[in-house]
Amino acid sequence: MQTRLFGKDFITTEDWTVDELTAMMDMAGDLKRRFAIGEPHDHILRSKTLFMMFFEESTRTRNSFESGVTQLGGHGIYLTPSATQVGHGENARDTIGVLQRYGHGIAVRDCRTGIGQAYQYELAREGDIPVISMQDDVDHPCQAMADLMTIREKFGNDLRGRKFVISWTYAPKYVRPLSVPQALVMLMTRFGMDVTLAHPKGFELMPKCLASAEQHAKENGTKFEVVNDMDEAFKDGDIIYAKSWGPIMETEEPVAVQAMCDQYKDWICDERRMDLSKPKSIYMHCMPIDRGYEATNAVVDGPHSVIYDEAENRLHVQKALMALTMGGHI
């Protein structure tokens, strides 16, 4: 088990080896067991502080991080640009230069296109405490790790030959970032799964993320394919991950986005499509779900759904991440 991770940034899973990522999942499993039986583990981050900078609002991310650092004995401080000098133009060097004098780690959620991940790497270059991505414009590493933990719980650790499907779905509201599907195709191809990405034309992911997925599949002897047919993608799938994202590689202009999305209202995860997958397949979604648009209630609340297990595992994965990067030793 790789444990020499104290002080290591976690901005993308691409920066961690498979052994390091496996160590995080192993630790998450142990902490989940302790949480389930009420075994105290609040010594791990006792008297340590995590700063949590949110450029966008959140439900699961904020609560899982804040609960997690508390359960480990530490303290999380919620920050926003408007409540700090970041909103008045303070640069990354000055922000982390001060915060690292007060605490032991900084986590950032920043999905601004072309800015979010770059800002996190700038913090990492300028600071000495670990920088953790709570989501950015390119990757959502904590979500992807919680998803992988959930899949391993359902199918075992050997995932070779399992078909993982990440499919675009219609949603009528805001433009969701590309970070979740990109995180998934980059990570799941490293852990033995055959990955199928499905979306209508115009909803492509970033070329660099697709290239990473293709390279991982090649190195691991797995498959990675992109299709423009939702039914084709679902056939014989073991894991069905169906969610919306915006046509960000084409446009972010609201009227144009809505017009593109409205062409594909039939891209919904329903019972008919789930029947195309394997009988013991699982349905996943990072939440929040646009019920009735991304998926029907019968799917979301049905026997294939593992969405609440998935959401719970955010807590355990992130606790493991904080324990390894903030609570260990050099």
Q: CATH number of the domain that 63 lies in?
A: 3.40.50.1370
For the segment 202-218, the average pLDDT, to the nearest whole number, is 98
pLDDT tier for residue 328 given thresholds of 50, 70 and 90: confident
Looking at the structure, do residues 183 and 266 belong to the same domain, yes or no? yes
Looking at the structure, do residues 167 and 299 belong to the same domain, yes or no? yes
Q: Is the pLDDT assigned to residue 298 strictly greater than 80?
A: yes
pLDDT tier for residue 30 given thresholds of 50, 70 and 90: very high
Residues above pLDDT 70, as percent of the chain: 99
Question: Within a domain: residue 1?
Answer: no
The pLDDT of residue 40 is 96
For the segment 37-59, the average pLDDT, to the nearest whole number, is 96
Q: Is the pLDDT assigned to residue 3 strictly greater than 90?
A: no
SS3 content of the chain, % helix, strand, coil (to 5): 45, 15, 40
For the segment 122-126, the average pLDDT, to the nearest whole number, is 98
Q: How many domains does the chain have?
A: 2
Looking at the structure, do residues 147 and 259 belong to the same domain, yes or no? yes
Are 320 and 28 within 8 A, CB to CB?
A: yes
Question: Within a domain: residue 275?
Answer: yes
Q: What mean pLDDT, rounded, does the chain reach? A: 96
Looking at the structure, do residues 205 and 294 belong to the same domain, yes or no? yes
For the segment 261-290, the average pLDDT, to the nearest whole number, is 97
Question: Within a domain: residue 114?
Answer: yes
Looking at the structure, do residues 182 and 156 belong to the same domain, yes or no? yes
pLDDT tier for residue 329 given thresholds of 50, 70 and 90: low
Question: Within a domain: residue 5?
Answer: no
Looking at the structure, do residues 151 and 247 belong to the same domain, yes or no? yes
The pLDDT of residue 330 is 47
Question: Within a domain: residue 58?
Answer: yes
Looking at the structure, do residues 282 and 152 belong to the same domain, yes or no? yes
Looking at the structure, do residues 163 and 130 belong to the same domain, yes or no? no
pLDDT tier for residue 4 given thresholds of 50, 70 and 90: confident
**Three-state SS at 218:** helix
Question: Within a domain: residue 250?
Answer: yes
For the segment 245-253, the average pLDDT, to the nearest whole number, is 95
Q: Is the pLDDT assigned to residue 42 strictly greater than 80?
A: yes
Q: Is the pLDDT assigned to residue 107 strictly greater than 80?
A: yes
Looking at the structure, do residues 320 and 283 belong to the same domain, yes or no? no
Looking at the structure, do residues 148 and 80 belong to the same domain, yes or no? no
Q: How far is CA 78 from the centre of its chain?
A: 20
Question: Within a domain: residue 75?
Answer: yes
Q: What is the pTM of this model?
A: 0.97
Question: Within a domain: residue 6?
Answer: no
For the segment 162-166, the average pLDDT, to the nearest whole number, is 98
Looking at the structure, do residues 177 and 48 belong to the same domain, yes or no? no
Residue 143 CA to residue 157 CA, distance in Å, equals: 18
Residue 290 CA to residue 317 CA, distance in Å, equals: 25
End-to-end, the C-alpha distance of the chain in Å comes to 16
Containing structural domain, residue 267: 143-310
Looking at the structure, do residues 174 and 224 belong to the same domain, yes or no? yes
Sign (positive or negative) of CA dihedral 118, 121, 122, 123: positive
